[in-house]
Amino acid sequence: MSNTLVHSSPGTRPSAKWEDQMSETGDNRVLRGKPDWTDLVFFLILVAGAAYAIVTYPNEMDIYEKYILAGSTIFVTWVGWLWRPLRVLMIACGLAALLAIGLYDGNLAQADNQFLLKYLLSSQSAILWMCALFFMATVVYWVGYISPTAAWMGTAFTWAGVFFGFAGLLVRWREGHLIAPDMGHIPVSNLYEVFVLFCLITAVFYLYYEKRYNTRALGGFVLLVISAAVIFLLWYTFERDAAVITPLNNALRSWWMKLHVPANFIGYGTFALSAMVGFAYLVKLHGETVSWKPLVPLLLVGGAMVSEPFIFSDKENFGFWILYFGIGIIIVACILLARKTIASKLPPLEVLDDIMYRAISVGFAFFTVATVLGALWAADAWGTYWQWDPKETWAFIVWLNYAAWLHLRLMKGMRGTVAAYWALAGLIITSFAFLGVNIFLSGLHSYGEL
353 Cα distance to chain centroid:
19
What whole-number distance in Å separates Cα of residue 356 and Cα of residue 346? Answer: 14
| pLDDT given for residue 308 in this prediction | 45
At residue 414, φ and ψ (nearest 5 deg) are -65, 130
Looking at residue 29, its pLDDT comes to 43
User: pLDDT, tens digit, for every residue of 332-377?
Assistant: 878 888 888 898 899 999 999 999 999 999 999 999 999 999 889 8
d(CA 373, CA 308): 27
Determine the longest span between alpha carbons in the chain, in angstroms.
Answer: 67
Distance CA 226, CA 269 (A): 9
C-alpha 5/C-alpha 236 separation (Å) is 42
| Residues 362 and 208: beta-carbon distance below 8 Å | no
Q: Which one-letter amino acid corresponds to residue 62? A: D
* Burial bucket for residue 249 (CB in 10 Å: 0-12, 13-18, 19+): exposed
* Spans in the chain with pLDDT lower than 70: 1-33, 288-322, 324, 439-450
pLDDT of the residue at 443: 54
C-beta neighbour count of 44 within 10 angstroms: 12
- CA neighbor of 138 nearest in space, from 331, 336, 390: 331
Sign for the CA dihedral angle at 339, 342, 345, 346 comes to negative
Alpha carbon of residue 241 to chain centroid: 23
Residue 325, exposed/middle/buried by CB under 10 A (0-12, 13-18, 19+)? Answer: middle
Tell me the C-alpha distance between 107 and 417, whole Å.
56
pTM value is 0.88
Asked if residues 151 and 144 have their Cβ atoms less than 8 Å apart, the reply is yes
Cα gap 349→401, rounded to integer Å: 23
pLDDT at 435: 80
**For position 292, what pLDDT does the model report?**
55
Alpha helices in 307-415 (DSSP H): 318-337, 339-345, 349-382, 390-412
Which candidate, 231, 342, 330, 323, places its Cα nearest to that of 279? 342
Q: Which residues contact 363 (CB under 8 A, 6 or more apart)?
A: 266, 267, 268, 269, 270, 271, 274, 402
Q: Read off the pLDDT of residues 231-279 as tens digits, 9 standing for 90 and up.
A: 989 988 888 788 888 888 777 788 888 899 999 999 999 999 999 999 9
b/e code 169-178 from CB counts within 10 Å (16+ = b): bbbbbbbbbb
Task: Name the DSSP letter for residue 414.
Answer: B
Question: What percentage of the chain's residues is helix, strand, coil (to nearest 5)?
Answer: 75, 0, 25
**What pLDDT, on the 0 to 100 scale, is given for residue 182?**
77
Whole-number pLDDT of residue 25:
41
Burial class of residue 262 in the structure, from the number of CB atoms within 10 Å of its CB (0-12 exposed, 13-18 middle, 19+ buried): middle
Predicted local confidence at residue 167, as pLDDT: 96
